[in-house]
Amino acid sequence: MNKFVTCRLCLCESSYAFDRNLLRYNVSYYQCSNCGYLQTEEPFWLEQAYKEEINLTDTGLASRSIHNLGVVLAFFLSSELKKPLLLDYSGGYGLLTRLLRDSGLNAFWSDKYCKCLFARGFEDNGKTKYDIVTSFEVLEHLHNTKIELKEIFKKGEKFIFTTCLYNNNLPSDWWYFGSEHGQHIGIYTR
């Protein structure tokens, strides 16, 4: 076990914080002294973690998409954007993209791990610049965090992101670690 690693978010030094089980592995976590980002050791288990596109314990997939539809529609109703181009980055099966399109928004989908089931024909072509990019419950999955965030920010001008944040009193048994699926490899602070 290393005592220090480089933070995947700000590239400063991260110190060993604790160990916990992910999937069937004992995994070390490190906390950045600069930005507070909490990351796993180098995640060697990701192929196993993403063997199923959507993990079997994610029972809120549809209800979360319906909730996020309301969030995005409320944003657009309060914005000056008339006919925006929208990208749902890491959009899973494309349910939110389909709901947005059915609501009249010009929405597109991308996801490097998932097959688009609900919004086929509206996949991101990799070249379009979007007015807004949504990314719900994705940040905690990023492996090359700083690089991947730069790529996301190149895709649009405005962003709606969600993730669960932790404070310094982080419980070691917090459900958001995702011990059973091993996909959450970085946790953020405010």
Residue 53 within any structural domain of the chain: no
pLDDT in tens, 3-12: 999 999 999 9
pLDDT for 169 beyond 80: no
Residue 188 is encoded by which pair of tokens? 């953020």
Question: What is the predicted pLDDT for the residue at 56?
Answer: 67
Q: From 186, 184, 158, select the one nearest 55 (Cα to Cα).
A: 184
Of the pLDDT bands very low, low, confident and very high (cuts 50, 70, 90), residue 60 is: confident
Within 10 Å of residue 126's Cβ, how many Cβ atoms? 7
DSSP class of residue 114 equals S
What is the rounded average pLDDT of the residues 145-166?
A: 91
Residue 67 within any structural domain of the chain: yes
Residues 85 and 103 in one domain: yes
Of the pLDDT bands very low, low, confident and very high (cuts 50, 70, 90), residue 171 is: low
Residues 68 and 132 in one domain: yes
Residues 80 and 149 in one domain: yes
Residues 148 and 79 in one domain: yes
Residue 51 within any structural domain of the chain: no
* Distance from C-alpha of 178 to C-alpha of 44, rounded to nearest angstrom: 16
pTM above 0.85, yes or no: yes
Bridge partner list, 188: 165
Angle between helices 61-78 and 95-102 (to 10 degrees): 40
Question: What is the predicted pLDDT for the residue at 8?
Answer: 95
Residues 16 and 80 in one domain: no
Residues 85 and 131 in one domain: yes
Residue 87 within any structural domain of the chain: yes
pLDDT in tens, 99-150: 999 999 999 999 988 899 999 999 999 999 999 999 999 999 999 998 999 9
* Distance from C-alpha of 139 to C-alpha of 39, rounded to nearest angstrom: 12
What average pLDDT is seen over the chain?
Answer: 90
Residues 78 and 35 in one domain: no
Q: Are residues 165 and 35 in contact, defined by beta-carbon separation less than 8 angstroms?
A: no
Q: Are residues 15 and 30 in contact, defined by beta-carbon separation less than 8 angstroms?
A: yes
Residues 67 and 157 in one domain: yes
Residues 126 and 140 in one domain: yes
Q: From 64, 58, 54, 56, select the one nearest 116 (Cα to Cα).
A: 54
Residues 99 and 77 in one domain: yes
Residue 54 within any structural domain of the chain: no
pLDDT for 168 beyond 80: no
**How many domains, the chain?**
2
Domain span holding position 86: 61-162
Residues 81 and 18 in one domain: no
Residues 147 and 171 in one domain: no
Quickly tell me which residue has 């008339």 as its tokens: 82
